[in-house]
């Protein structure tokens, strides 16, 4: 089955800095990679996703890059703000199963 590794487990940045979270996956058939943000005590919410036919996708301060050859994908947050503080999860799913396998999460702390 699919295995998703996520790093770092904790990331502490100053407001205005950039933050990068990296994930690797094991199943070369995976073709859909969503990112979720989970604030303390709240539900995971989809913030951005990317499909395997695209190398990069941007949405305002958030971007995701995908390297299919190396089987890794990354979340980039620019100009971080305190409200970006949350746990971020990456996930991967394949055309066959469509069930996402999640990483263990990264706790992002943005200091004002």
Which residues are near another protein by CB under 8 A?
Answer: 4, 6, 32, 34, 36, 42-46, 49, 89, 91, 93, 95, 97-105
- 81/2 Cα distance (integer angstroms): 33
Q: Is the dihedral of CA 44, 6, 1, 96 positive or negative?
A: positive
40 vs 70, beta carbon nearer another protein: 40
Which among 58, 47, 55, 53 has a CA at the least distance from the CA of 89? Answer: 47
92 vs 110, beta carbon nearer another protein: 92
State in angstroms the smallest separation of the CB of 96 from another protein.
10
58 vs 95, beta carbon nearer another protein: 95
State in angstroms the smallest separation of the CB of 112 from another protein.
25
Question: Within 10 A of 45 (CB to CB), how many other CB atoms are there?
Answer: 11
State in angstroms the smallest separation of the CB of 105 from another protein.
5
- 26/39 Cα distance (integer angstroms): 28
- 99/59 Cα distance (integer angstroms): 24
41 vs 112, beta carbon nearer another protein: 41
State in angstroms the smallest separation of the CB of 68 from another protein.
17
């Amino acid at each position: 089955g699919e295995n998703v590794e996520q790093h770092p487990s904790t990331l502490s940045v100053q407001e205005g800095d950039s933050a990068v979270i990296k994930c690797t996956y094991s199943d070369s058939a995976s073709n859909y990679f969503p990112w979720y943000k989970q604030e303390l005590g709240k539900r995971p919410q989809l913030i951005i996703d990317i499909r395997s036919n695209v190398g990069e996708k941007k949405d305002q301060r958030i971007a995701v890059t995908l390297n299919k050859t190396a089987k890794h994908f990354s979340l980039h947050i620019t100009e971080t703000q305190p409200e970006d503080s949350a746990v971020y999860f990456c996930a991967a799913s394949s055309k066959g199963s469509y069930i996402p396998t999640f990483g263990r999460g990264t706790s992002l702390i943005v200091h004002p």
